[in-house]
Amino acid sequence: MGARPPVTLRDATIDDAEKLIRLWAACAAAAGDEHSDTFSQQLLWREPTCEEAAEALAFNFARRGRRIIVAVDEHEQVVGAVVGDLGTLTPISGSRILIVTDIQVAPEFRRKSIATVLLSAMAAHAEEQGCEITLASVPVHARESNRYLAKLGFNQIAVLRATQTSRLRARLDGKVAYSKVTGRLLAVRRTLRRRVGSPVG
């Protein structure tokens, strides 16, 4: 692991939109080159315009409990970012948790402790907010990321799956329609049985 270059941590702003696009694009390209996250990146990554990224950042900043911390080098370039969401362990539990949804480090800055510094800042935020547990979401095929998080003490406790909303609706609507038809048929059969079983006269 090389010496950590001088970086400054701060909260992201809407003005970082273009820099964050460059960071995400570089990370997606590196994943494709390594053939490790190709499927995940193709499914979930589409390079946005600057305007779209700014709107997305504004939406995220408006969300209570979401925080985006960036690592900026001496040239004011964003070389890393970590995103965290505050929540509760279950919808009916008071136990607070922090979910790290994204950790991105520019390929040329990897193995220089940037991810460690970013995660440390997010862990401090979790402590300040009284979180008992910190969760992290990483692509299933990202071997390096999964090994790194395992070394830090993260255990696998869930599987995160993705599908297109339109495809999900189509499949569920088909099942719901079938269920309604089946329900009507059963109701008709019950009615017929009652009629057959009732005394005449």
pLDDT > 70: what percent of the chain?
A: 85
Parallel, antiparallel, or unpaired for β 133-136 and 96-105? parallel
- Residue 190's Cβ-side half-sphere holds a number of Cα atoms within 13 Å equal to 6
Q: Quick one: pLDDT band at residue 148, thresholds 50, 70, 90?
A: very high
Predicted pLDDT at 36? 52
What's the pTM? 0.81
* Count of all residues that appear for the chain in the document: 201
| Phi then psi dihedrals of residue 123, to 5 deg | -65, -40
Q: Quick one: pLDDT band at residue 88, thresholds 50, 70, 90?
A: very high
Contact, 119 vs 138, CB < 8 A?
no
Contact, 111 vs 2, CB < 8 A?
yes
Contact, 70 vs 15, CB < 8 A?
no
Contact, 113 vs 4, CB < 8 A?
yes
Q: Quick one: pLDDT band at residue 5, thresholds 50, 70, 90?
A: confident
